[in-house]
Structure 1
Amino acid sequence: MAMAGRIRSSLPVLQRLISGADSLSSQRPPIQLSLLPTFSASEFSRNYATASTPLKAEKVKLPLALFGGTGNYASALYLSAVKSNVLDKVESELLDLVEASRRSTTFAQFTKDLSVPKDIRVKAINAISDEAKLSDITRNFLVILAENGRLRNIEDITKRFVELTMAHKGEVNVTVTSVIALPPQEEKELKETLQELIGKGKKVKIQQKIDPSILGGLVVEFSQKVFDMSIKTRAKQMERFLRQPVTELI
């Protein structure tokens, strides 16, 4: 059974756990965001290493420096996943979990509801992990997020984690925006051109995005670079040019 399906099948358990906590949560004020615990990268690594399966002794380096709270969580998870040799599995589980949360309103609301008591959050995560047969690394990570009121950040953390896995694999994610989906041959030619531009040793992964508002052409984004070759942008440039006073054009 796919991850999304397994998580959906565990939702009755989740609902029972939450409903059982209703009487408790109604007697206590919602948790304030400012009161949630925060972790530095080193603090989180120590806590996560303690909760995870035994790690190998060799030193593992991050392929990319990430900053901020979500960056710290993603980095700690990456280090543990690499040391336990389950990087691809953890990445797949996180992506499936995010997709499942998008499809299930109940699960999405659960991850964002800070009024649910911590012990109920942890029980629910363990129940879901059992049903979905998640790896120990992913389970322990989700438990820590549940304990610290950070489940609401799972999508952002996953995005940062994928940045690390792509850097680890030497992959460069390129977003190509067009009016319609690129035909296979055009996508192949664009990928070859981008490969030459980015250089050897990197693997180009194209993610197509459809946006009729650009009118035509392409917008290519990667590594914080944007190449806007859309008809919409060219039309705006031409409009600005035509609106300039004649004296400025001479």
Structure 2
Amino acid sequence: MNTGLISTRYATALLDYAIERGEQDKVYEAVKMLSQMFWEVPRFGEALHNPILSPAEKKKLILTASGGEVSEAWDRFIDLLLENNRIEKLHYIALRFQDLYRDKNHILSATLTTAVDTDKSVYERLKSIIAKQTGGTVEMTQAVDPSIVGGFILQIGDNRWDASVASQLRRIKNELKEINN
């Protein structure tokens, strides 16, 4: 069975169960923290695959990475994954759960990439504009990438607006190449 199908089934079951228990928001926050841990500490995923660690130790790691005090739905779900030997799919399940939760709650995920750190007021204003334009809630993250030189790249869902200096320079370079050919 493929990872996408497995992660979707488990994520859907978790969302349904959390909604049934009224714990969906708490589970979502725990899953977001866990996903962040997978990205920021690559060895975290390796630790979960380590056969030397007992299921209890793996569970403790997961719960700690999820913020410590978690809902009963999330706690039971981790038990289910450990019991069914699906813990290696946890990162994919967490990502899929976030997608399902955002879809159900009409939350847009956006990323603003700039060459230098953006002032908090600019960040908040842009977030507010996006929310107003889309009529939904926006969860926005910020990334700093000096290679874009200046300007910004804004990604909202599957849409991407590249107003970076680096992309403008590439476009000019390509136009000059075409003229010289």
Q: Percent identity?
A: 20
Structure 1 residue corresponding to 2:169, chosen from 214, 219, 235: 235
In the alignment, structure 1 residue 213 sits paired with structure 2 residue 150: no
Please list, as runs of the form range in 1=range in 2, the aligned pairs for 1:4-83 lying within 5 A after superposition. Answer: 38=1, 68-83=5-20
1:186 corresponds in structure 2 to 122
Could you tell me which of 6, 26, 29 is aligned with 1:92? Answer: 29
How far 1:85 moved relative to its partner?
A: 0.4
Question: What is the TM-score of this pair, normalised by structure 2?
Answer: 0.79
Secondary structure of residue in 2 paired with 1:244 = helix
Larger Rg: 1
Deviations 1:184-209 (A, max 9, x none): 332233224323442x2x11222111
By how many angstroms is 1:153 displaced?
A: 2.3
CA contact (8 A) 2:108 2:157 kept: yes
Identify unmatched segments of 5+ residues in structure 2. Answer: none
Q: Secondary structure at the match of 1:81?
A: helix
Residue 148 to residue 116, structure 1, CA distance change in 2 (3 Å): farther
Shift of the 237–127 alpha-carbon distance from structure 1 to 2, 3 Å rule, reads closer
Give the TM-score, by structure 1 length.
0.60
Aligned-residue RMSD, C-alpha: 3.1
* Number of equivalences: 177
User: For residues 135 and 128 of structure 1, do their structure 2 counterparts lie closer, same or farther at Cα, with a shift above 3 Å needed?
Assistant: farther
> Given that residues 34 and 62 in structure 2 are in contact (C-alpha distance below 8 angstroms), is that contact kept between their aligned partners in structure 1?
no
> In the alignment, is residue 173 of structure 1 matched against residue 109 of structure 2?
yes
Corresponding residue of 2:156: 222
What displacement does 1:150 show?
2.0
Q: CA shift at 1:109, angstroms? A: 3.6
State the partner residue of 2:138. 204
User: How far apart are 1:145 and its partner, in Å?
Assistant: 1.4
Structure 1 residue 91 displacement after superposition: 2.0
Structure 1 spans left out of the alignment, 5+ residues: 1-37, 40-66
Structure holding more strand per residue: 2
Q: Is the 8 A contact 1:220 1:227 kept in 2?
A: yes
Aligned equivalents of 1:163 and 1:181: distance in 2? Answer: 27
In 2, distance between residues paired with 1:161 and 1:73? 8
Letter aligned with residue 180 of structure 1: V
Residue type of the alignment partner of 1:241: E
